[in-house]
Every structure is written in C-alpha cells, then in structure tokens.
C-alpha cells in the first residue's frame, strides 16, 4: 500500500471493514438460527410436560433463550446497519 494514494487507502480500509462486518452479520445470523431452534424445542417440550418442576425449569430456560435471541437480533441489526456506513459495530 506504500504506492497507493490516501483516497485509495481509505477505500481499501472501508472495503476490508465491510467484509469483516458482513462476516460478523452472517455469524450472528447463524447463531440466531441455532438459538431459534433451541427456543422452539424448549417451547415444544413445555407444551407436553406436565410435571410442575420440569415446567418451571423449562420456562426458565425458555426465558433465557428468548433473552439470548433478543440480544443476538439487536447486535445483528446494529452490525447490519453499520455495513452501509462502513463502521464497526
């Protein structure tokens, strides 16, 4: 990059950041899909379990999963927005 002009360096930096952000967004979306499967599985289990203690445990796990999913969605949206402006999330 020594022979590259300042404007060209800035373009390269923005492209590299965007590629990293795109990869991060994809990783977050993959994690969201896994967490959604966990949430769905817990929901199904909760529907068929009748033992109050197991229901309580599943309900707590379901709330934890829901919180994780909400955080992943929030991070994903924040990073997704940054892709268009070339900043890190």
Please say if the pLDDT value at position 5 is more than 60.
no
pLDDT at residue 87, as a whole number? 60
Please say if the pLDDT value at position 70 is more than 80.
yes
Q: Identify which of 44, 33, 42, 45 has the alpha carbon closest to the alpha carbon of residue 69.
A: 33
User: What is the pTM (predicted TM-score) of this model?
Assistant: 0.71
Q: At what angle do helices 6-48 and 52-85 cross, to 10 degrees?
A: 160
pLDDT at residue 13, as a whole number? 42
The tokens describing 89, both together, are 């999330």
**pLDDT tens sequence across 12-69:** 344 446 667 888 888 999 999 999 999 999 999 999 999 999 999 999 999 999 999 9
**pLDDT tens sequence across 76-89:** 988 878 776 666 56
């Amino acid at each position: 990059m020594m022979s590259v002009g300042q404007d060209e360096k800035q373009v390269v930096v923005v492209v590299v950041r965007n590629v990293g952000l795109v990869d991060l967004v994809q990783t977050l979306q993959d994690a969201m899909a896994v967490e959604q499967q966990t949430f769905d599985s817990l929901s199904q289990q909760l529907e068929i379990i009748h033992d109050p203690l197991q229901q309580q445990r599943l309900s707590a796990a379901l709330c934890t999963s829901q919180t994780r999913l909400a955080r992943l969605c929030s991070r994903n949206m924040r990073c997704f927005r940054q892709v268009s402006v070339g900043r890190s999330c």
